[in-house]
Chains A and B, each alone.
Chain A
């Protein structure tokens, strides 16, 4: 073996080692969370922490699921979270697709105004918006309401989803639509039969963004669901757990795992597509 190919191989080994190192360091906190969730209390508070549970147990998960730690079972909050998240994903995708078609396929007067507005409104800090929106929602009796919260999530995911979807719509060749139209398809048929199937991958990508946003959102859920515990979504539930005097770290970690798991599964299913979509949203693709 020549010296040159030897140094190339050793460089490759170094690079791969670095790659594995990045992966390990990134995964470690998550690994520790999952491992703690399976540990009995004696091992959690042990003076010499063990990487893996010596006596793995489901007890922490059972306590969270049946609500014996803070008197409220996990399922209620899962249902609440699923309601706000899924309604946000479905409604905002539909509304955003209409807007994306408008800005990608038409030239009209307020087009750039609309696009610049999208860029600006997504930069208004949520800690600022939460004040005015809280007072508005209070006036129209939408506090402590999951419908009110999902209205917010629909709106907040719009700027990013419209911005990303319009690239996907623009990427569909116009000729396909024209061909269908010449063959006698009306505007709605063109939409359903040609455009929709072709932008479906784009819709999946933007749905993931809307899903992750709504599932993870904390500050509005915390503020708007303040007094009615049965309406809490999962992020508020996890901090409730964490805040109210309990230092049952096994249960807290189990609750976190149960909260994180759905979004992780969803993310891993679509991550390949997401990696390109992520950039389409941030930097023009």
Chain B
């Protein structure tokens, strides 16, 4: 855009270069053109300026500050100005590593991701494969319905799941008491509290994450499947491959880049998951139910605030995710996403 074609008329004026290689006596029209050309070089930077300033101020600069705070004793006395801010070396990091709460929340975060990520990917992929086999109208209907779950605010979805799993009046406990005993149903589920202990609470959160996360996976996988030549699977079927082998030998290798991106995004989303865990585990205070996201938040915003320690922790979390991100960025560049 901003094409210079309009000014193309007099541009054919030959450049006047003296024997010493220097410009001399440029007619006014050519001088104007050269000025325009140098202005034109500035245009992309002008266009980028607003977004670069905003991102720089509110995304890049805070990340740098975080790194600085993580080596400082930033806390309540420092924020009120009662005591000066000092560099304390690695003491914040040491403090975290020796904190049993950190270890328990890290364990919860890792176990949660190990269960929730593959489950979401598997359910999403199965639904994506199903959508690909459905008729056009049916596929549109199912994917619209699924994306409703995706677009649902995390807060509403969490509150809604807490209600489904409520001990009094919730439908899940009621259904479980009605199940036959060989399916582990029965009276012991009556009034069972899902949110008071880590395992049941994160079971609810995992179901919630799968419920909200699978539509995105399904729609992305479907988009990948649509680009696949149908003859490939047909050929595999003729050669006697069942649907299972057909998927792993044909579909999966072709869609591997998409799966890689989806896997990385899911890991990034699930490891420090905050909103859902915050609401389902009952806001702050239930320390044995903290994951890394809530633990960081608690360190920074529960009284007394320990911004330095929280920053150190946030740094560790960010660096771990950055390794994942590096793989993501590399994948995107390989796919030619920057072109």
**A residues bordering B, Cβ < 8 Å?**
12, 15-16, 18-20, 22-23, 26-27, 29-30, 32-33, 36, 44-49, 95-96, 98-99, 101-103, 105-106, 108, 111-112, 114-121, 123-136, 138, 151-152, 154-156, 158-159, 162, 169, 174, 177-178, 181-182, 184-187, 190-191, 194-195, 212, 215-216, 218-219, 223, 235, 238-239, 242-243, 249, 252-253, 256, 259-260, 263-264, 267-268, 271-272, 274-276, 278-279, 282-284
Contacts and interface: CB of A to CB of B under 8 A. Distances in A.
B47 A260 contact: no
A253 B161 CA distance: 11
Nearest to B226: A279
Contacts of A275: 143-144, 147, 219
Contacts of B315: 128
A169 B328 CA distance: 24
26 contacts: A23-B141, A26-B148, A26-B149, A29-B157, A29-B161, A33-B156, A47-B174, A49-B169, A49-B171, A116-B333, A125-B268, A127-B272, A127-B293, A136-B61, A182-B5, A190-B3, A216-B155, A218-B278, A219-B274, A235-B153, A260-B156, A264-B148, A267-B151, A282-B261, A283-B220, A284-B337
B211 interface: yes
Contacts of A133: 58, 62
B202 interface: no
Given A15-B133, A283-B223, A218 B48 contact: no
Report whether over half of chain A's contact residues are helix, strand or loop; otherwise say mixed: helix
> Which of B135, B159, B274 counts the most A-chain CB atoms under 10 A from its CB?
B159
A236 to B, nearest CB: 8
B48 to A, nearest CB: 5
B78 to A, nearest CB: 10
A18 B58 CA distance: 46
Contact of B69 (A26, A132, A152): A132
Interface stretch (B13-21, B24-32, B180-188, B306-314): B306-314
Interface in B294-337: 296-297, 300-301, 307, 310-311, 314-315, 317-318, 321-322, 324-325, 328-329, 332-333, 335-337
B147 A108 contact: no
Interface string B55-78: 101111111011001000010000
Given A134-B300, A191-B1, A44 B47 contact: no
Contacts of B168: 45
Contacts of B22: none
A48 B156 contact: no
Contacts of B58: 133, 151-152, 155-156
Contact of A136 (B65, B144, B151, B174): B65
B275 interface: yes
Contacts of B96: none
Contacts of A235: 153, 155
B279 A279 contact: no
Shortest Cβ-Cβ A-B pairs, 4 listed: A128-B314, A132-B62, A102-B47, A106-B44
Contacts, number: 311
Contact of A181 (B5, B141, B152): B5
Contacts of B224: 283
Report whether over half of chain B's contact residues are helix, strand or loop; otherwise say mixed: helix
A112 B44 CA distance: 13
Given A48-B174, A132-B62, A243-B283, A278 B219 contact: yes
Contacts of B23: none
Contacts of A123: 268, 321-322, 324-325, 328
B121 interface: no
Contacts of B176: none
B33 interface: no
A259 B155 contact: yes
B9 to A, nearest CB: 11
A128 to B, nearest CB: 3
